Amino acid sequence: MRIVEVRELTVPLAGTPANAVVSFAGHTVSLVALVSDQIREGRPVTGLAFNSIGRFGQAGILKERMIPRLLAAAPEDLQASDGSAFDPAAVLATILQGEKPGGHGDRSGAAAAIELAVWDLNARLAGEPAYATIARAFDRTLDPTEMRLDVPVYAAGGYYYPDDSIGRLRHELERYHGLGFDAFKIKIGGATLDEDCRRIEAALTVAGAGDRLAVDANGRFDTEAALACGRAIEAFGLRWFEEPGDPLDFALHQAISKAYSGPLATGENLFSVMDVENLLRYGGPRSGIDIFQMDPGLSYGLTEYGRMLDLLEQYGFHRSGCFPHGGHLINLHVVAGLSLGGCEAYPDVFQPFGGYSERCRIEGGRVTPGEEPGFGLEWKEGLAPYLEQLMAGL
């Protein structure tokens, strides 16, 4: 059993017609196909994945470095010991041959696209949804009572609008509520503190309670501004305060964690176990309070993400505090398979990758993955034309 071909297609991201505010010009995603030599119903079984959303496609690193290494490997070195599946950790080690330590940036997304496609490929070979493959590989099914397939989900968005900003913000969240969401996340840090507090108050009229509303500063604040923001919003009792400052400024994070009593969330811009360990050592996260948002699709895939979970547990944290960045089908299967805290969803943006498929069910603030094999990307609205292009001739 072997991988005979690897294909990559760089796909541009777009908002939906409902969102005219956020520009995704230039944002792209690498869609990857791992074509195996196993034939089912006349076509090769093929693993499909992509490197999450919000950053960039990685055609250069994939085509120049990682795909040639993968295709040059001995097939037996990429298989699980019983030959029934591919070994994601072995594939990851292969595509990272000759890469130096440190510098966990774009290459971590490139590697993730391939590594995640191995999980999709294994799930298709086993004829099961990816969450089942993931749960088995990480020994999660040993405790079936812990496994719940309908996972908490919140709707992220809450953008700034050029006019009637607060009215349109409320309208945006009301629309998400109509789609089945009962928790929300909005942007802060792009206006004065007073204005941001008025936006939070408006959002709370839809969310109904502080623990149903998170705020995301996207790393904009320095320490002083982050502390000031924390003081201003603390009384709202929000679900969490996300990325107050630079994701690598662990001293800033520690200062806020000492001053702000509510939950803090960070991690979507930490792309390796070593960076996460530095957050744990120096950033002062609080067990049972703070939220971790590392995203397998940006950080070398599920093999490295599993190591991050092990590390969190060694440091006394629980996986229920993990809400991976990237509201899409792949992370839904990861969250369900690993019994993490929950998912995000971006109903309006990051198309055609953002959000879930018609095979998933969203209700009562929870989302349930479908039962089709793999991640089920072929069921996601808008992805079909790109998948056809990627797999043409197979």
Given the rule CB under 8 A, which residues bind a second copy?
Answer: 10, 26-28, 54-61, 63-65, 68-69, 98, 100-108, 218-219, 246-251, 269-272, 274-275, 277-278, 281-282, 298
Least CB distance from residue 245 to a second copy, whole Å?
9
Q: Which residues are catalytic?
A: 187, 325
Strands (DSSP E) contained in the chain are 3-12, 28-40, 43-50, 151-156, 184-187, 213-216, 241-242, 264-266, 291-292, 343-345, 361-363, 366-368
Q: Could you tell me which of 306, 302, 308 has the C-alpha nearest to residue 272?
A: 308
Among all chains, which residue has been given the structure tokens 């005219």? 20
Q: Which residues contact 126 (CB under 8 A, 6 or more apart)?
A: 85, 132, 133, 373
Closer residue to a second copy (CB): 213 or 217: 217
Closer residue to a second copy (CB): 61 or 134: 61
Largest CA distance in the chain: 62
Residue 146, CB half-sphere, CA atoms under 13 Å: how many? 14
Closer residue to a second copy (CB): 29 or 130: 29
Least CB distance from residue 267 to a second copy, whole Å?
10
Closer residue to a second copy (CB): 301 or 369: 301
Least CB distance from residue 98 to a second copy, whole Å?
6
Phi/psi class of residue 339: alpha, beta or left (left: φ > 0; alpha: ψ in -120 to 50)?
Answer: left
Phi/psi class of residue 355: alpha, beta or left (left: φ > 0; alpha: ψ in -120 to 50)?
Answer: left
Least CB distance from residue 196 to a second copy, whole Å?
19
